[in-house]
């Protein structure tokens, strides 16, 4: 199975800097194609959120280059290795912040595509969607409001209107400990895998994401780039104030 990809990132309507960091890298061994994609949303309410997000992305890029080649045929260790990286980075960033008297933190959502399989390691409220004939959110939001929805205390339609929607239960660098969500599954041929920070989807419906990123209409990376740009502009036109980042991989 092969793929192409694209991305869009913007500081948004009101932010003076973009604290999101993103990663898109591919590799191959002649027969199989591999890809790692990540969105890390630096915490704007903390000092140097952009430094935390950039550090995690650098570590993921190094992992893909140095460790992944030896793990790519070991399904059990692949997910454990990715989650272990996020746990270690939480400890290191937190220790750095304590030493220098600053609080730093970032979400971290990582998608790894291998030969017919996907793996996700996830902390925070960035998301991964799988878009085929339907759209499916693969990750859980690690927020107070999302937990209350899962517990039946709130209705799903109340999520975006709740003033606590951005209260995170865990993030890399600012939590005492993190428990990354680990997911894996069969990779769909002819699908779009979307990673996005919360800035993209606050003002957009799942239906709008599916309409613009329906795989049948995504014929090449240029079209994919155009669609991501349209969605970003649409979110901003509706008043989204946060940084916006979106990465998409189209399999074929």
Task: Output the DSSP codes for 104-143.
Answer: --B-EEEEEE-SSEEEEEEESS-EEEEESSSEEE-SPP-B
Quote the tokens at residue 182.
Answer: 């680990």
Question: What pLDDT is recorded for position 12?
Answer: 82
Question: What pLDDT is recorded for position 46?
Answer: 65
Alpha-carbon dihedral 168, 134, 192, 217, rounded to 10 degrees: -130
Instruction: Give tens-digit pLDDT for 34-79.
Output: 999 999 999 866 667 899 999 999 999 999 999 999 999 898 899 9
pLDDT band with cut points at 50, 70 and 90 for residue 24? very high
Instruction: Give tens-digit pLDDT for 107-136.
Output: 999 999 998 999 999 999 999 999 999 999
More confident residue, 148 or 159: 148
Separation of alpha carbons 41 and 110, rounded Å? 12
pLDDT band with cut points at 50, 70 and 90 for residue 165? confident
Pairing type for strands 135-137 and 181-186 reads: unpaired
Q: How many structural domains is the chain composed of? A: 1
| Residue burial 73-107, b: 16+ Cβ < 10 Å; e: rest | eeeeebbebbbebbbebbeebbebbeeeeebbbbb
Q: Which domain holds residue 99?
A: 3-251
CATH code, domain carrying 97 = 3.60.40.10
Q: Are 248 and 213 in contact (CB under 8 A)?
A: yes
**SS3 label, residue 9:** strand
More confident residue, 85 or 161: 85
Q: pTM (2 decimals)?
A: 0.95
23-30: long-range pairs with CB below 8 Å, 24+: 23/57, 23/60, 23/61, 24/247, 25/61, 25/64, 25/65, 27/64, 27/68, 27/69
Percent of the chain whose pLDDT exceeds 90: 84
Q: Are 235 and 229 in contact (CB under 8 A)?
A: no
Question: What pLDDT is recorded for position 233?
Answer: 98
């Amino acid at each position: 199975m092969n793929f192409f990809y694209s991305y869009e990132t913007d500081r948004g309507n009101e932010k003076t800097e973009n604290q999101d960091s993103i990663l898109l890298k591919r590799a191959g061994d002649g027969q199989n194609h591999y890809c790692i994609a990540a969105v890390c949303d630096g915490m704007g309410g903390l000092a140097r959120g952009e430094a935390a997000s950039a550090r995690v992305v650098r570590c993921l890029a190094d992992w893909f280059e140095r460790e992944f080649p030896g793990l790519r045929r070991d399904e059990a260790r692949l997910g454990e290795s990715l989650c272990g990286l996020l746990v270690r980075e939480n400890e290191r960033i937190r220790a750095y912040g304590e030493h220098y008297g600053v609080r730093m933190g970032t979400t971290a959502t990582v998608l790894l595509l291998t030969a017919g399989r996907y793996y996700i390691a996830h902390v925070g409220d960035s998301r991964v969607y799988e878009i085929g004939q339907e759209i499916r959110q693969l990750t859980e939001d690690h927020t107070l409001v999302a937990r209350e929805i899962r517990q039946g205390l709130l209705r799903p339609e109340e999520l975006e209107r709740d003033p606590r929607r951005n209260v995170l239960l865990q993030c890399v660098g600012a939590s005492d400990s993190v428990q990354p969500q680990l997911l894996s599954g069969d990779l769909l041929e002819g699908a779009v895998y979307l990673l996005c920070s919360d800035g993209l989807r606050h003002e957009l419906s799942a239906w709008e994401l599916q309409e613009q990123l329906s795989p049948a209409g995504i014929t090449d990376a240029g079209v994919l780039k155009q669609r991501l740009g349209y969605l970003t502009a649409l979110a901003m036109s509706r008043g989204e104030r946060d940084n916006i980042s979106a990465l998409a991989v189209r399999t074929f």
